Structure 1
């Protein structure tokens, strides 16, 4: 049984960090601090002895990272209000202290994606019973302007050694499969990816703590001194790091609609099939959701019409974005003129001379 001085005084507090559209709950622990850790760049510099005690983490979800899951947010190392993950890219948000692993769609979450223990240890905190519900845009804006708002999530916290802990947040209601005080092995199911707490998309928030300090598992650093700081060491297994850094841009979903839909509606759509049938004869809209665009990327939407014409809109990303949606609406000809047939939508992201993400969807107008 693992123990630590002052164990009887151990407590946990959930704090909602409303720093972007993707809201997160991070667990900050009120534990006995270790005075040997040295302050550096707004954080601590762990000693070699402390790092030697650190666990080596496996991927904390049982999920296909080619089709179903990806990392939407990494740990933020940007100084002040700047946002920088350890790659010096934009896949994070201000003061984000953890790793967000999401499913591409809500439908995939509802089908069930297991969250698993990233290393062996003892369960010290468990919460279940919080309803799964994505915050809508109005609620997101409210949280962004009111830092005092807190929504607790279903979660599990594991103690791996005297000073090291891991957090698994936003679990699906009713799926938490472990109890406080239980010993768990690496890879043991803890629950499922969910939507509980302060979040607008289905995901696992995975956090690593050394005592009461939240540490980036990719760098073993806490500091906000910028992304150029060298990593002390990775806390992942070699296989886990390769999986979690494999994709940094991609498509969330895409499809046609006979009306312009709101972002909240598009987020809840299942992964659409390659071909749809539309009923409207007024207009059709081709849309696509994407993640990981970088400043300078060329973003293009096309609608290939039955008569061979192509409607196209292109833009250049003025800044890096964690995610976003693009739309192209095409008015259909008046009744009696050619409007029926098959329409094909193509969305692509060009980075330099390489297409880094693309998707094609079709629709039939009777």
Structure 2
């Protein structure tokens, strides 16, 4: 750890989201089949391209601006996990695509969940509490209801979509109701087995899980021909920024997911001034570059370092004790193979 001053420190918190994050199919909302991959034999019954649906996004947001894809379908039939881009933004047995938002505060403002295609609502649940699952006890409490609040839509010709983790009390459709593509179904939530607010989308054909980024008749694994089922092309984005800001103490993942520390003004009496960054999909060897600039223009911290491990979720911060009034600036960059992945600049007024 660099030792530019005894009043400055850096902390890196790795958050793998492997134990409690989950979007499972073992609930009353799901189809009885849970197979996540298609063999060549199983795929022969899939409809021709003329019958293939085109799915819209299941969330009303701008990808990589106010939402992101945290997890893709796991395409490895073994106990290992790999996404369609040969990356690690998935986990063993994950059968859908997770569209996330930054925190619970954004969730409470209302982010609509949308029907990806027209169809008939089959099943609905809307009574479960939104609560981030961060302990074995909480995980056990929602056993067999991991999908949380959600619904299933029948699109005809054996196609179904399932939507999980909606906000309690937000579902506005009922069984047997006809919905059009793009219709509002409810709001993004954190019900069921969810460690962050998001909408989990399953796509199924005749009970078999389909990866919408790859399409039908595909073999397990990555490096497969891509016959996307999305209405519009979606770029593969395995790494990105979720949120960033300043905090008056060392932030925790629970606090960040809860939506704390978005202040643009802080008191000079706080114990520390912490500049934090919450990202997803960082890889071993990625280089972080941190800069902290005092109100007088002095650079009090300017260092970089390579990550030793890969993480699906990554929270890190630098902190400064004994601060003084004025506008402080924090700058962060993430580099991979000498290419800039993303950068973020934040300011806070200390008074």
**Shorter chain as normaliser: what TM range?**
0.7 to 0.9
Separation in 2 of the partners of 1:222 and 1:19?
Answer: 29
Q: Any runs of at least 4 consecutive aligned residues in structure 1 with deviations exceeding 4 A, and if so which?
A: 18-21, 221-224
Q: CA deviation at 1:292?
A: 2.5
Residues 107 and 282 from structure 1, CA distance in 2 versus in 1: closer, same or farther, beyond 3 angstroms?
A: closer
Residues 310 and 99 from structure 1, CA distance in 2 versus in 1: closer, same or farther, beyond 3 angstroms?
A: same
Query: How many residues are paired up?
Result: 328
Q: CA deviation at 1:46?
A: 4.0
Q: Could you tell me which of 259, 262, 265 is aligned with 1:269? A: 259
Q: Deviations over 1:41-80 (max 9, x none)?
A: xx94244645543322111222222421111111111342
The Cα RMSD (Å) is 2.9
Q: Could you tell me which of 55, 58, 61 is aligned with 1:57? A: 55
Contact 1:79 1:224 in 2 (8 A): no
Aligned: 1:354 with 2:335: no
Q: Which 10-residue stretch deviates more, 347-356 or 114-123? A: 347-356
Aligned: 1:236 with 2:230: yes
Q: Could you tell me which of 299, 306, 313 is aligned with 2:288? A: 299
Q: Deviations over 1:58-110 (max 9, x none)?
A: 11222222421111111111342322111111221121110101112322211
Aligned: 1:312 with 2:311: no
Q: Could you tell me which of 235, 250, 257 is aligned with 1:260? A: 250
Separation in 1 of the partners of 2:272 and 2:38?
Answer: 62
Tell me the residue number matched to 2:220: 225
Question: Given the two structures, how large is their TM-score scaled by the length of structure 2?
Answer: 0.83
Q: Deviations over 1:20-61 (max 9, x none)?
A: 453223364137x9xxx9734xx9424464554332211122
| More relative contact order, 1 or 2 (CA 8 Å, 6+ apart) | 2
Separation in 2 of the partners of 1:171 and 1:184?
Answer: 17
Q: CA deviation at 1:282?
A: 4.0
Aligned: 1:181 with 2:176: yes
Contact 2:284 2:310 in 1 (8 A): yes
Residues 226 and 322 from structure 1, CA distance in 2 versus in 1: closer, same or farther, beyond 3 angstroms?
A: same
Separation in 1 of the partners of 2:142 and 2:167?
Answer: 24
Tell me the residue number matched to 1:134: 132
Contact 1:107 1:271 in 2 (8 A): no
Residues 345 and 189 from structure 1, CA distance in 2 versus in 1: closer, same or farther, beyond 3 angstroms?
A: same
Q: Which 10-residue stretch deviates more, 311-320 or 322-331? A: 311-320
Q: Could you tell me which of 64, 67, 75 is aligned with 2:73? A: 75
Contact 1:253 1:271 in 2 (8 A): no
Contact 1:117 1:187 in 2 (8 A): yes
Residues 255 and 321 from structure 1, CA distance in 2 versus in 1: closer, same or farther, beyond 3 angstroms?
A: same
Question: Given the two structures, how large is their TM-score scaled by the length of structure 1?
Answer: 0.80
Separation in 2 of the partners of 1:222 and 1:50?
Answer: 10
